[in-house]
Amino acid sequence: MSDSNVTVPETAPAFRAWNPLCWPLPVRVLIGVILGGVIGAEFGRGPIVLGWTNADSGVLAGFYIQLLTALATPLIFFAIVEAFVQTQLTGRQGFKMVAICVLNIGVAFAIGLTILNVWTPGKSWQGTLGERAEAVGSTAPATPTTNSGSGSLAPLELIRSHVPKNALQPFIENIVLTVAILAIAVGAAMRSLRSSGDEEDFAAVRTFERFIVACYRILLRILGWLIELAPIAILLAVASAVGNAGPGVFKIVGIFFATVLSALSLHALIYYPLSAWLIGGKSPRTYFGQGISAILTGFSINSSLATAPLTLEALRRMGVSEASARLSACVGTNFNNDGITLYEAITALFIAQAAGLDMTLGQQAMILVAALVGSMGIAGIPNSGLIILSLVLKAARLPEETVQLAIPIVYSVDFINARLRSAVNVMGDMQVAILLDAGTSVANPPASTETH
C-alpha cells in the first residue's frame, strides 16, 4: 500500500487535562451538545446578550456547513484521483474484487431502502424540521427541486443535469456525481500515460501526481482544522434548534440512531457472515472468532485503513491467501466502504423524509449513487462522514435551512456512529478477502498462534 494512501498525522498539542482544546474530539462534541441544549432551553427565542439570539447562532452554524460543503467537493476529486492512481487492479482477481464490492453495495442499498420505505422513521422529525425552517425564515418550498438542476427522472434529463457546461461547473455547483466521473477520467488518463513507455509522458505524470498528492494533503489539513471547530458549530446549532423547537428535539436523535444501527447491524451481522459462510466456506464462528480483534480495533480507533495490519493478521489466521488478503485490506479498502456509504445514504433519505419529501425510487437511487461516489477513496480521512454528508444532502436537493439544522443534530451522535461505520468497513474488508478466495485452491494454512 502506497504511503500516499495513509492519512498524514496532524500535529497535536501536548495533552493537558486542564485545557479543553486538548480533550478528545468526541468529548468536546458532547460538551458542545450539552451546553447548546442548556443555552437553547434557557433563552429560547429571546435575546441572550446584546441582542444576540439563538436564531443568530443557527445562522453562524450554517456558515460552517457551507464552508465544509465548499471544501468537500475538491476533496472528493483529489481523493478519487489519488486512490485511482495508486491502486493497482489488474487481472481476474481485480475484476472479481470489483464485482464483490458492487454486490455488497447493492445489498447495503437494498437494506437501506427497505428500512426507510417500510418503517419511514424520518417522518418522526417532520414537525421539528418544519418549525425550525420557518423560524429561520425559509422561503424555499420543501420539494426535491429547491436546488439547481432538473427534477425530471427521464433518462436523458438525468444525463443532461450531470453533463457540465464547463470544467468548473461541477465544482461551483457541487455536482458530486460529475466530479467523481471527472476524477476517474483524470486518474485513468494518468495511468495510461504512465504506462505508455514514453519517458516524457512518464516524467510529466510523475510531476502531476506529486501535485495531486500535495493538494490532497493540503485539503486534509484545512479540513482537519475545520473539524476541530466542529464542537463550537455544534454548540451554536443545538442552541438554535432547542431554542426554536424546544428540548423535545433531543428525542428525535434516538430514532435516527436506531435507524442507522438497524441498517448497519443487518448488513454487518447477518449479510457478511452468511456470505462468508455460504460462499467462502468460513463459518460465523471463524469469521467473528478470528476477526474480533480487528473489528474491535477498527471500532476503537475509528479507522478501517489504520486497522489494515490487524485485518491482514486475522485473515491469515482464517487461512485466507496472502494475495486475496492484501488485495482486499490494502487496495479494496479504498473502495469497499459499505459502512460510510450505507450511513450517508440512510442519513440523506432519513432527512428527506423528515423534510416531507415524497421521493420516488428513482430519486432515492440518485441519492444512493451520490453516497457511493462520495465515499470513494476516503477510507483514511478522519471524520469523513461530516465532510461528505453535506454533499450527499445536496444531491437530495433539500432546502438549505433543513440541511443546516439536520447536520448538527445527526453529528451530535456521530462519535458512536463513526466507530460503527469503521467496524463495518473492517468486516467488509474481511468478507471481500474471503470471497476472493472462494473457488481457488491456494490458501494459507491457519496459524492462530504465530504472529508477525
In a domain, 396, yes or no: yes
In a domain, 65, yes or no: yes
pLDDT given for residue 443 in this prediction: 44
Instruction: Select from 13, 29, 50, 27 the least CA-distant residue to 235.
Output: 29
In a domain, 18, yes or no: no
Distances, alpha carbon 357 to alpha carbons 44, 223, 259, in Å: 28, 31, 18
In a domain, 116, yes or no: yes
| Number of structural domains found in the chain | 1
Which residues, 6 or more positions from 167, have their beta carbon under 8 angstroms from its beta carbon? 182
Per-residue pLDDT tens for 409-440? 787 777 778 878 888 989 999 999 999 988 66
pLDDT given for residue 149 in this prediction: 37
In a domain, 302, yes or no: yes
pTM beyond 0.95, yes or no? no
Question: At 452, is the secondary structure helix, strand, or coil?
Answer: coil
Phi-psi region of 447 (alpha: psi -120 to 50; beta: other; left: phi over 0): beta
Element (H, E) at 47: strand 47-49
DSSP annotation of 10? P
pLDDT given for residue 246 in this prediction: 62
Note down the domain range covering 318: 24-437
pLDDT given for residue 362 in this prediction: 80
Per-residue pLDDT tens for 172-224? 776 666 777 788 788 878 888 887 788 888 888 888 888 888 888 888 788 77
Burial of 16 (0-12, 13-18, 19+ CB in 10 A): exposed
In a domain, 447, yes or no: no
pLDDT along the chain (452 residues), means of 10: 42 58 73 81 80 80 75 76 66 79 91 91 71 44 36 50 71 72 82 81 85 84 79 79 65 85 95 95 94 82 72 90 80 75 89 83 81 65 65 74 76 78 91 87 46 37
pLDDT given for residue 448 in this prediction: 42
In a domain, 208, yes or no: yes
CATH number at residue 127: 1.10.3860
In a domain, 5, yes or no: no
